[in-house]
Structure 1
Amino acid sequence: MARLHAVVFAGAARWSEASLVAARDDPAGIFCATDDGFVLGRVISEEAELLTLVVDPTHRRRGAGRALLADFEDRARRKAARKAFLEVAADNAPALALYLGAGWGQVGRRGGYYDGTDALILRKML
């Protein structure tokens, strides 16, 4: 997991293998994986948080991200989440297109969150 995460998020804050495994194994956690990538999140009370969504660069533009996102949302609903949140770099156009196209909307902004790049806070009612 950490190797793929480092490839996808080159130059950004990368998660260590230990951090990824801890998130995956968290009792509140959501972990969805395919040969194309993975998504990690968690549900606390009625709120889900998508922590990271990773698609192998050689598998992009084939629906893998959409499928992982839909799986995350479905699992969050089954854990009684009523809404979900995520943060995405404001300059990550492919990710923004994925999330906005799936019905997520911007509800906030964190200035300079990613090494000087703003993070957009997105929400979707589940």
Structure 2
Amino acid sequence: MSITWNDSTPIYRQLRDRVVAMILDGVLKQGDPLPSVRQVAGDFQINPITVSKAYQELVDENLVEKRRGLGMYVTEGARAALLESERERFLREEWPALHARLARLGLDLAELMRAPRQEEGR
């Protein structure tokens, strides 16, 4: 897990978002353990309380579960739940502005489908 911290968002939130991205990308799968609080705190030179707060948010969202004496593990259905909530959030928060910009630029679906994709340029 590599992270470049930014000053505009609390570190615990950035850490939580990174774990979410890893679940969505399939890097962390159902049943996989998360690195220990101590390991993450040491690796990134951050306070263990910050890591615990990020992990607790993931527990509160039912994305990971605490297993007493064993650590934190990705829950069953975490990726599916994240996909659903992220799709809903995209359509509610990001799509309206994107749609308006596309209309303003006069771009249609055919042009968008012909546009080079980022992964093709790599």
Instruction: Pick 1 or 2: higher relative contact order, CA cutoff 8 A, min separation 6.
Output: 2
TM-score of the alignment, normalized to the shorter chain, above 0.5: no
- The normalised TM-score by structure 1 is 0.37
Higher helix share: 2
Higher strand share: 1
Q: Quick check: which has more Rg, 1 or 2? A: 2
